Structure 1
Amino acid sequence: MNRRATPQPLDVRPVTDAELADWTRAVNTGFLRPPTVPDRMLADRRVAFAGSRVSGAFDGGRCVATFRSFDQELTAVGGAAVPADGISNVTVAPTHRRRGLLTRLMADDLAAAKERGDVVATLIAAEYRIYGRYGFGPATTMTEWSIDVPRAGLDPRWAGPLDGGRIDFADGEEIRRLGPQLHERLRRERAGVIDRNEHWWAARTGRLWLYGDAWVEPFFVVYRSADGVVEGMASYRTDEKWSDAKQPLNTAAVNWLTAVTPAAERALWHYLCSIDWIATVRTGWRAPDDLLPLHLPDPRAASITTQADWLWVRVLDVVRALEARTYAASGVSVLEVVDRAGLAGGRFLLDATPDGASCAPTTRDADLTLDVADLATLWLGDETVGRLVSLGRVREERAGAAREADALLRTSGRPWCPDMF
């Protein structure tokens, strides 16, 4: 009589330095990448992961599930930075599914983040249906455009910004020197933006090799205003494609583009569309309400190629999360927050004004009942309470409460996270 073998208990724990190579092989396997780990990549990961919380599940000495988290800052509505638990490198080997490994790794990490005092946890979800059960909700949207350059209507003789500014090429050293300050300006102004540490800049300029193929240097350009202030920069790559009739059909693919003024944004997009031989510009991950199409004489030249959820948020401290953000109107709302994990549930009274907000546990009757994942979706202002009520995800306990909450929580500009992590 055949009997199925009983699975042996798996060891879930922090990863030692000696196990990092095996852990990285498991990450690569989970993301369907070649499992080989080059020596330099492993050495650079040791540098970049210092201070990270690297965990795994082991079966007989082999790593079969991976998880990493690290300290992060996320910009709330209004510009305040809140401490966050950034989560990445989450995989479970296909040979070890349905054994609760992700649940154990996630529960341990979120409990530790709560204990540390993190306000939220964040991640970029590779698959939509996984993370809602852990209290995460999609909080920002990403849009990518493809620009048909000949159709855009721009002057092909364009030779520089018309506002007195200028665009110059830069090397990696200059980007590492100028980029962090520019990004800090952006994240003080835009909800949803996360911080970039020195390892981010090192990896994007060839100093560290953390992902994918061997480093190939992209083009870097910097925009300076008429008074010499750096207000924008971009990184992009190009291919080499010609038609049978010897016509150039090359594409410029933007790795990232940062601009803190509309003038800088307009100048950088016009520059990218003016490069000789470039017929198409792929924009990379942009905000869904990006000004890009309207910077072109013919906005229809920019067609959306990707639009999807991006940054997912898990609220760990309701009081601090709601007090950290700003509100355009005054009002009071009592929220019944349901959290199956027991980390952030309860009934809370939000008293908001444009000058500040207070939030505290309360015994008053609830106006709205919602899951902690739906609170995360609403927190950065990219979704409406009314839509979630219509979907049955938020329950309106008092008539008119959804409309009143929307007046508090909605924002004039949509949140945006420009980064993958």
Structure 2
Amino acid sequence: MLTEAEWEPFYASLERAFAVTESQEEQQLYRDLTEFDRTLGVWEGDSCVATAGAFSFRMTVPGGASLPVAAVTMVSVAATHRRRGVLTSMMRHQLDDVRARGEAVAVLVASEPMIYGRFGYGVGTFETRAEIDTARVRIAVPEGTDDVRLRYAQVTDPGVHRTCEEIYARAVPGRPGMMARQPGWDRLPMLDPEKDREGATALQCVLAEDADGTVLGFARFRVKPQWSAAGADGVVFLEDLEAVGPRAPQAAAALWRFLFDLDLTSKLVALNRPSDDTWVHLVSDVRRSSLVLRDALHVRLVDVGAALEARTYRTPVDVVLEVEDAFCPWNEGRWRLTGDAKGAVCVRTAEPADLALSVRELGAAYLGGVSLAALAAAGRVRELREGAVAEAAAAFGSDVAPWLPHGF
């Protein structure tokens, strides 16, 4: 467990491992957010040679419940201390602690995806990255979009910030994988260090409002001015965009159209959007939008029974799962899962198994964005009862793609 006196060498070791130098503002934020009783430092003499930590979050799961999760973060091992079992020891300590705290799920964002599969993490959400050629791509908006009013708002205005956080909070229950902001985390989207702007402006904000002034959504973005021999060639960098309520389609479309049409720009860059984001269905040429799908949230079921009971299922399911979990052996064995859209029960059983899979595949499928049928087709899930894959895949699915809107 890290002490406050050890913070500076701990964080310096982390920065060295990731080859970054954070701003004072960023360092202060993460120091304030650090849960010291969940943070580990490995020391050799006076030198910190490895780091790991976790934040206490609440994550939306299919069905809309808010589940306590351990958000694993700040994991590093000094290049001088690799291949000595340090990472494995930290993961062992951490998952034992997560279990002792009664958290059924751990999650992380991986700097290198190949690292964490051996500890039982599976890729549970994806993010879309896009570079849209707004000089050539047009956007068609739904009826009623012209009734949405847009106005610039000061990002740092407390009232504006509070309004944006309220919009975000309303969006969280509607999409698996989203994290409810815990105290202090509302400061994260306000981070705006100049070193990270790469020549772009400070963060800007536009609010979308109904005719009566009700805020329907917001977009936060930066603009990088650029010029070529042909003229203005600026770039818009979208940081976040949310819209909620019955008028969300119109509000979101109005915000996207605004970003497409900004003067002196010809490209819109969005680095983290849901894989089912609405704009994809509004553009005239998706090919010139340079879509890239990338792994995002890696999910680890620490308590299989409790985790599977915490979510609901899109269709009725009654299936026996033979689970392999060498790293957390308390999960190994057969579990009977019965559930539907109203709730679920998952208990140990001696009945014959219908499906055999590792906890990694369960983590991948848990939020509904990765199909058990696709995993079976890849040979990662074995069907032991005919029809069991189709039944379980339909039940585990989500109508809305899971998405992690921000890192930790």
CA contact (8 A) 1:52 1:69 kept: no
Distance in 2, Cα, partners of 1:74 & 1:202: 18
1:340 pairs with one of 310, 326, 331: 326
2:39 pairs with one of 33, 51, 54: 54
Distance in 2, Cα, partners of 1:210 & 1:217: 8
1:289 aligned partner = 276
1:92 pairs with one of 74, 77, 84: 77
2:404 aligned partner = 417
The offset of 1:41, in angstroms, is 5.1
2:307 aligned partner = 321
2:225 aligned partner = 240
1:312 aligned partner = 298
Identical pairs, percent: 33
The alignment yields a C-alpha RMSD, in angstroms, of 2.4
Distance in 2, Cα, partners of 1:79 & 1:210: 37
1:196 aligned partner = 181
1:358 aligned partner = 345
Distance in 2, Cα, partners of 1:210 & 1:105: 34
Distance change >3 Å, CA 137–CA 265, structure 1 → 2: same
1:166 aligned partner = 150
Which deviations, in whole Å up to 9, do the C-alpha atoms of 1:142-180 show, x marking residues without a partner?
11111111212359xxxx950244343232223431122
TM-score by length of 2: 0.91
Distance in 2, Cα, partners of 1:32 & 1:81: 35
TM-score by length of 1: 0.88
Distance in 2, Cα, partners of 1:225 & 1:165: 6
1:176 pairs with one of 146, 161, 165: 161
SS in 2 for 1:284: strand
SS in 2 for 1:202: helix
Distance in 2, Cα, partners of 1:84 & 1:211: 32
CA contact (8 A) 2:201 2:222 kept: no
Distance change >3 Å, CA 343–CA 165, structure 1 → 2: farther
The offset of 1:224, in angstroms, is 1.8
Distance change >3 Å, CA 149–CA 216, structure 1 → 2: closer
1:255 aligned partner = 239
CA contact (8 A) 1:51 1:70 kept: no
1:368 pairs with one of 345, 349, 355: 355
Distance in 2, Cα, partners of 1:115 & 1:417: 25
2:55 aligned partner = 70
SS in 1 for 2:41: strand
Which deviations, in whole Å up to 9, do the C-alpha atoms of 1:27-72 show, x marking residues without a partner?
11111124xx766654443322256622111111100111111101
Which deviations, in whole Å up to 9, do the C-alpha atoms of 1:385-405 show, x marking residues without a partner?
222222221111112211111
Which deviations, in whole Å up to 9, do the C-alpha atoms of 1:368-411 show, x marking residues without a partner?
11101110111111122222222221111112211111121122
2:95 alignment partner AA? L
2:13 aligned partner = 26
1:170 alignment partner AA? Q
Distance in 2, Cα, partners of 1:254 & 1:179: 15
SS in 1 for 2:202: coil
How is 1:221-240 mapped onto 2 (pairs within 5 angstroms)?
221-240=206-225
CA contact (8 A) 1:140 1:310 kept: yes
Distance in 1, Cα, partners of 2:274 & 2:23: 35
The offset of 1:343, in angstroms, is 4.1
Structure 1 regions of 5+ residues with no counterpart?
A: 1-13
Distance change >3 Å, CA 154–CA 187, structure 1 → 2: closer
Distance in 2, Cα, partners of 1:212 & 1:90: 22
How is 1:113-152 mapped onto 2 (pairs within 5 angstroms)?
113-152=98-137
What is the aligned residue count?
A: 399
CA contact (8 A) 2:145 2:254 kept: yes
Distance in 2, Cα, partners of 1:53 & 1:250: 43
Distance change >3 Å, CA 41–CA 298, structure 1 → 2: closer
The offset of 1:231, in angstroms, is 2.3
CA contact (8 A) 2:148 2:251 kept: no
CA contact (8 A) 1:351 1:357 kept: yes
The offset of 1:198, in angstroms, is 4.2
Which deviations, in whole Å up to 9, do the C-alpha atoms of 1:225-282 show, x marking residues without a partner?
334332211211111210124x100000011222222222111110111111111000
Distance change >3 Å, CA 177–CA 398, structure 1 → 2: same
Distance change >3 Å, CA 191–CA 203, structure 1 → 2: closer
CA contact (8 A) 1:74 1:84 kept: yes
Structure 2 regions of 5+ residues with no counterpart?
A: none
The offset of 1:354, in angstroms, is 2.6
The offset of 1:340, in angstroms, is 0.7
Distance change >3 Å, CA 196–CA 231, structure 1 → 2: same
1:102 pairs with one of 59, 84, 87: 87
Which deviations, in whole Å up to 9, do the C-alpha atoms of 1:93-139 show, x marking residues without a partner?
11100111111111111111111111200000111211011111000
Distance in 1, Cα, partners of 2:302 & 2:263: 50
SS in 2 for 1:285: strand
